[in-house]
Amino acid sequence: MSPLEGRTALVTGAGQGVGAGIARVLSEHGATVVVNDLFADRAERVADAVGGRAVAFDVTDLDAVRAGFADAGPVDVLVNNAGIPTAGFPQVDFKDSDPELWARFVDLNLYGVMNCTHTALQGMCERRWGRVITIASEAGRVGLPIRVALYGAAKAGAIGLMKHLAHEVGPLGVTCNALALGSMENIPGPAKYPVPRKGTGADVGATCAFLASDGGEWITGQVIGVNGGAVT
């Protein structure tokens, strides 16, 4: 039997990039995959490719999230992957940033994670089984000289949420973890990691598949580096 057979996994922001890779790997491991994206056409394209179902919604809109989950049906595995703002990702020193920019990162990377996690936890806790996996970044756990303080702060918030939730819902059979990614293949530039290449959706998907399996039951509240061995 495939390790995730009988489980339904919803992956946010899975219409391209890392999320599409996660959706594919979870499907290969036997999960029924619900592919979310802000853009329905992207979600449908990936859902067709991985044999899943598309449910489009904006993770920053709580009402839309609730409606999307109602449409998706019971979700056993939530992967909070949406995290790159579609309105653009300016790299700017915080002291020079326009305060109007701040919400762009916090809404997506913290409120988006809270909206989806709060919605998913209701059913997971009732059924006494669930996995919440939040795709974070090394920028969320260490300071980096790349002018991404707003992004890093929002990712750090999501990491903190996972650590605290692990205590709240562990007794109810639900684990909550974060993955700290290094640079992925859709980012230009060299990869100065011990494993000298950029990361792929398959790398991240493999880690998600393990955490989602029954073998991941005793791993919770962790931040796992999926980063080619970057020293943090």
Q: Which residues are catalytic?
A: 151
Query: Residues 193 to 232: which contact ligand NAD by CB under 6 A?
Result: none
Query: Residues 45 to 74: which contact ligand NAD by CB under 6 A?
Result: 58-60
Residue 183 binds ligand NAD, judged by CB under 6 A: yes
Residue 135 binds ligand NAD, judged by CB under 6 A: yes
What is the contact mask toward ligand NAD in residues 163 to 182, using x (rule: CB under 6 A)? ------------------x-
Q: How far apart are CA 15 and CA 208, in angstroms?
A: 17
Residue 38 binds ligand NAD, judged by CB under 6 A: yes
Q: Given candidates 49, 142, 146, 187, which one binds ligand NAD under the rule CB under 6 A?
A: 187
CA-based end-to-end distance of the chain: 37
Residues 6+ apart with CB under 8 A from 63: none
Backbone phi and psi for residue 11, each to the nearest 5 degrees, phi listed first: -115, 120
Residue 15 binds ligand NAD, judged by CB under 6 A: yes
Query: Residues 79 to 108: which contact ligand NAD by CB under 6 A?
Result: 81-84, 86, 108
Between 28 and 107, CB nearer to ligand NAD = 107
Q: Given candidates 51, 186, 192, 232, which one binds ligand NAD under the rule CB under 6 A?
A: 186
Residues of the shown chain interacting with ligand NAD in the complex, contacts defined by CB under 6 A: 12-13, 15-19, 36-39, 42, 58-60, 81-84, 86, 108, 112, 135, 137, 181, 183-184, 186-187
